[in-house]
Structure formats: C-alpha cells, structure tokens
Structure 1
Amino acid sequence: MTWTTRPRSDHASLSAITAGQGATVVFIHGVGLRAEAWEAQLDALSPHYRVVAVDMPGHGESALPSGDLDLADYTDAIAAGIDGPVMLIGHSMGAMIALDMGIRHPEKVCGVAALNAIYRRRPDASEAVQARAASLDGTSMADPSGTLERWFGADASPERDACHAWLTDVNPAAYKSAYTIFAHQDGPDADDLTNLACPALFMTGANEPNSTPAMSQAMAALTPQGRAYIVEGAAHMMPMTHAADVNTALLDLAKELWP
C-alpha cells in the first residue's frame, strides 16, 4: 500500500481529512505522524460512515499554537471541532487524547478505541522515554532510525518508508512538544477509567514492547464496557502493518454503536 497526501478541510483550528457520510468516526494519530497514517482505516470505514482524521497541533497541516501545551490542550483542540457524539479512535499519543476526551468530554464520545495505548510504564521504560524527550532540542529533527527500529524492526517496507518521510518532515518544535507530553504521561487515572461510560476497545500488538498487551488488558478490566483485543504478530504500527485486523475490530465496534 502507498500513503499519499490527501486534501484537507478545517476541523476548528486544525486540519483534517474528511470523507464519507453518516455517523462520524474521528481518528487521532500519534507523535510525529499525520492524518495519512490512517489511510487504510479511512478507506475501510468511509463507505459506511463519515470519517475525520485530524492532524494533531503542529503536525501535518495543523499549526502549532504558541506557549507551553499539555495533554488537555491537544484534546480540547480536537474536541472543539466535534458537535455531537462520535466514535473516537486514537493511536499511541492519539489514544491518550481519545481516552482523555472520553473522560472529560463524555457528551462528545459514544465509543472509543485506544490503539497501542500506554498505562503504567515500567520504571525503566519511563526513564528511557523521558530521556529521549529531554534529548530533543525543538529546532532540528533527530535521526528517526531508532524510532523506526522500535516500530518496524530492521526490515524495509512501504510503511517504514512512509513513517520515515513523516518523521523527517514534522515541525521539530511540534514534535518536541507532543513527545514531551507523551513521555511524562502514564495513562488515565484508574478512577477515570471506572467512570468511562461508553464502550471502549483497548487494542495493541502481541509483539508491542512499550504499549504492551498487559496495559490494554488492565485498562479494559477497569472500564465498565471495556474489552481488550491483542493482534497477533503486530507491534506499534499495527494500523498500518496489520490493517485488516484493525479494520475488522473497528468496524465491529462501529456496528455495535450504530446497529
């Protein structure tokens, strides 16, 4: 599969890819990526639903606001473009945002899918991700080889090439802002998960070393309508590398929300 740049429309202060008609499904990508990371999911869901894939602040064609930002700022920028209850799908940091929106803006979310979400990192994992955040200078992008190695291993692929292009093109200040927030978050509070009222899917890859299966299972166990789905053979970039499995699970959740 190839990932090509798609036209944008406005989503409040952000830009977004929009397609299809009907009930709305909103997608939120991870740090350093852009809305096109959801290309396989947009193609699968747009024949049935209205799909909106946002560019996070400072990513893709969305501007980076001035000043210091926190997770709530990213969530609220996306929530500003949502009028009624939507199915919200996030990957990695996007999953953090999706869960935060479901917790703080429940009137805007009728279901949430958190893909490759972190929850209570091990101390060594927290130290490693925070060290990577501290190494960013916000003016130049570091070599993405280490990130790509964590995501894809050593094998070449179109997915790896697409992510390499996005990671080398992203605004370094925006990357530092988002990655610093991602590094210092440890997932939603347990009490907030127990109060998350909508259906919630926690999905990750069986081979994911950072957003581990145990994390998704722990969050699902705390959430009243939570369920975990572990994709065999997948790691961090499963929306791209294991699109068929991901699309099936997302379509199943959508059919549950809108029979």
Structure 2
Amino acid sequence: MTLTTLRLSNSGHTVALRDHGAGAPVLLIHGVGMQSAAWAPQIDALYKTHRVIAVDMPGHGDSSPLAAGSDLGAFVAWCRDVVDTLDLGPVNIAGHSMGALIAGGFAVTHPELTTRVCLINGVYRRDAAARAAVVARAEQIKAGEVDLETPLSRWFGDSAVDVAARAQVAGWLGAVDLNGYATAYSAFAQGDATYAAQYAQITCPFMALTGSDDPNSTPAMSRAMVAQASDGHAVVIEGHRHMVTLTAPHVANAHLAAWLAMPPAPKELQ
C-alpha cells in the first residue's frame, strides 16, 4: 500500500494517506497511536468497489501534528481540511476509537458532506470512573510516562489471531511520536461527550460497531449512540475486543460492505 504525503489546502499542514480504488469515496481514520496501515484488511476488501482513503491522523505516521492542547474540534477541522483538499465530499466516513470521535464530529458538523458514518469501537459519554481513568492516562502521557503494555493487554486476548494483531499494533505504538500521541490522547480523553448530544441530528446511515468484550468502547455505548439517530444500526462482534478490524477483519468487512450498501438519506433530510 503506497503512502502519499499531501499539503492540506486550508491549514498548510501535511497529511500522509493511502489512496486505493475508484468510485464513491470512503475515508478511514485510525485511533490514537495507530497508523493508516492498520486499515490494510479494510482497504483490501473495499477498494474493488470504492475509492478508499486511509489517513495518518495528525502527529501519527507521516502526518504533521496539530498544536499541543488541540481539542476534538481541531481534529474535526483537520478532517474537513482533508475532505476539501481531496475534493471528496460527500463522503462515507469511518473511524476507529479516536477516529470514531472525529468521524462522529464530522457527521454532526458537516452533514452536507457526509453520505454515511460508521463509528468502530467508539466511546460515548463515559461514566465518572472511566473518565477519571482516561484523563489520568492522558496526563501521564503528556508527562512522558508511556505504558504500552496496559492498553495492549486490554485490547487483545490470547488467540493466535490476537497475538499476531497485537504484535502489529505494538510496532505502531512503539513508533508513534510522543508529542503527537499526547495531543491526540488528550483530545480523546476529553472528547467523548463533545458531539454526543448532537448525534440525534444525524440522518444518514449511521453504524456503530464494537466487540462484545471491549471494556471501554462497550456494546452499550454503541447502542446508545445509534438509538439517537434516525437511521442507526448497532453491531456487536462476539468474542472480540477493541481492535475488531484486525482480529475479526472478515466479519468487520462484511458489516462495512453492508453499511456502504445502505440507501443514503434523502437530500431533503441532509
């Protein structure tokens, strides 16, 4: 998968991306600490019918970072910059974890540019204990204290598929720019409620997909998200955790293909 670097038209920042296939565009945004390469199984499955663009999030891979302290809204503005620069809109947009927060915020903020939205292992209105824990981790990362073993243990089980995916993810986490990681993780920690109340405004096909055993991006969160929307669909992949796109790629890809086949919202509702 060839990686291309472009200069964004609005901000002047650079974005690295993998652009494959032709047809209706699908924009894929990974989670904190990952890279666009994490979408390889989805690119391979979808590029034959769609133009698939997987981007490196700011401060990750080869994309330039946002300013320290940037909130979720700044990442959503960056996403709009990507869509404008590539002239993608209206676009199908899917995000994983932090990428899901960006995708949800984009769908709320720019409904006219969103054909469908899919939030994979997304968080939604954490309870007080979960919020305190993730904010504490964000502060530790900001101070340079990075613990990779804890999230890896939380995200993966002991199956052969999990062990192989864990090795891939460990490599990406180990290579991440610490400043870019800290900025994104802070936005992730604070962003679970930023656009939550506005999900009811989403009229396009809206899918929330997670693993049954994900303790932080729970099935209950996915169901609560889509319950607000007029065309919401929750999917729970049994026996998997936070990295379902890597540990259950064939199942996840089948659901993504079904999402892309859902009729878009009538123009008068957009």
Q: 1:203-224 CA deviation, whole Å, 9 max, x = no partner?
A: 1111111110000001111111
- Cα deviation, 1:112-142, whole Å, max 9, x if unaligned, reads 000011112122111111111111246x562
Match status 1:42 vs 2:43: yes
Match of 2:79 in 1: 78
1:242 alignment counterpart: 248
Name 1:131's counterpart in structure 2.
Answer: 136
Taking the aligned partners of 1:75 and 1:224, their CA distance within structure 2 comes to: 22
Q: Measure, in 1, the Cα distance between the counterparts of 2:191 and 2:142.
A: 20
SS at match of 2:261: helix
* SS of residue matched to 1:18: strand
Q: Please say if residues 205 and 236 of structure 1, whose CA atoms lie closer than 8 Å, have aligned partners that are also in contact.
A: yes
Which one of the candidate residues 7, 26, 30 is aligned to 2:3? 7
Following superposition, the deviation at residue 245 of structure 1 comes to: 1.0
Equivalent of 1:143, from 137, 140, 147?
Answer: 147
Aligned to 2:238: 232
Listed as ranges, the gaps of 5+ residues in structure 1 are: none
- Corresponding letter in the other structure for 2:130: A
Write the letter of the residue equivalent to 1:59: H
**TM-score normalised according to structure 1 size:** 0.92
- Tell me the residue number matched to 1:214: 220
Which among 240, 254, 257 is matched to residue 260 of structure 2? 254
CA distance in structure 1 between the aligned counterparts of 2:230 and 2:244, rounded to whole angstroms: 25
| Offset from partner CA, 1:83-123 (integer Å, 9 cap, x none) | 31111000001000000000001121110000011112122
2:69 counterpart of 1:68? yes
What CA distance in whole angstroms lies between the structure 2 residues aligned with 1:22 and 1:38? Answer: 18
Distance in structure 1 (CA, Å) of the matches to 2:75 and 2:24 = 23
- Cα distance between partner residues in 2 of 1:59 and 1:183: 17
CA contact (8 A) 2:32 2:98 kept: yes
Deviation at 1:53, TM superposition (A): 0.3
Equivalent residues in 2 for 1:13-52, closer than 5 Å: 13-52=14-53
Farther off after superposition, 180-189 or 29-38 = 180-189
Query: What letter corresponds to residue 229 of structure 2 in structure 1?
Result: T
In the alignment, which of 195, 201, 219 is matched to residue 201 of structure 2?
195
- Contact in 1 for aligned 2:157/2:163 (Cα 8 Å): no
Q: How many residues align?
A: 253
Q: Secondary structure at the match of 2:141?
A: coil
Deviations 1:38-91 (A, max 9, x none): 110000000110000010000011011334311111111121121311110000
TM-score by length of 2: 0.89
Where do 5+ consecutive residues of structure 2 fail to align? Answer: 9-13, 265-270
In structure 1, the partner of 2:267 is: none
SS in 1 for 2:236: strand
Moved more, 83-92 or 248-257: 248-257
The CA distance in 2 between the partners of 1:10 and 1:22, in whole Å, is: 21
Rounded Cα–Cα distance in structure 2 between residues aligned with 1:254 and 1:188: 26
Q: Identity percentage over the alignment?
A: 38
Displacement of 1:8 in angstroms is 2.1
Identify the match of residue 159 of structure 1 among 154, 165, 176.
Answer: 165
The CA distance in 2 between the partners of 1:252 and 1:42, in whole Å, is 15
Once residues 151 and 162 of structure 1 are traced to their aligned partners in structure 2, the CA distance between those partners, rounded to angstroms, is 12
